[in-house]
Amino acid sequence: MDGAVLADPIMERLRRRYPMYHETAYLFILAALHYTIERLGEARHISGRELASGCRDLAIDRYGPMARSVLEYWGLRGTRDFGEIVFALVELGILVKQDGDSLDDFDGVFGFAEAFERDYPWACPQRIEQD
């Protein structure tokens, strides 16, 4: 059976239930989960903070200076949005959570302005004003 045929009903359910996120955002979160596990070197439970950091790093690796714009285009405007998608995927049985996992684990892990602009690896140094 073709895998794309199986994926269509899931994406359709996600689009209907969570219209604020572009379908690519779900695929990005799954890719970020894989990316984070690969960097850890072992398959284990990933915390919300770890996944949020993995999302940030993968976005910078893939999209460079456009990372924030790409994520925002998909409806991702803060780390809580990462969690919203994770829990939507849990609800559909695509991901599993542990008892202690909470959507709140994704709250305020970092600000997008800082992560993708001020602290961006190639950001220009801030101009220092002299008195």
Sequence-distant (6+) residues with CB within 8 A of 23 are 11, 14, 15
pLDDT tens digits for 63-86?
Answer: 998 999 999 999 999 999 999 999
Q: Are 71 and 59 in contact (CB under 8 A)?
A: yes
**Average pLDDT, rounded, for the chain:** 86
pLDDT tens digits for 25-40?
Answer: 999 999 999 999 999 9
Q: How many residues does the chain have?
A: 131
Domain ranges of the chain: 21-118
pLDDT tens digits for 2-28?
Answer: 444 445 688 888 888 888 999 999 999
Q: Are 91 and 101 in contact (CB under 8 A)?
A: no
Q: How high is the pLDDT of residue 107?
A: 95
- The dihedral over CA atoms of 77, 115, 65, 59, expressed in degrees to the nearest 10, equals -70
What does the alpha-carbon distance between residue 93 and residue 6 come to, in Å, rounded to a whole number? 14
Residue 108's pLDDT band (boundaries 50, 70, 90)? very high
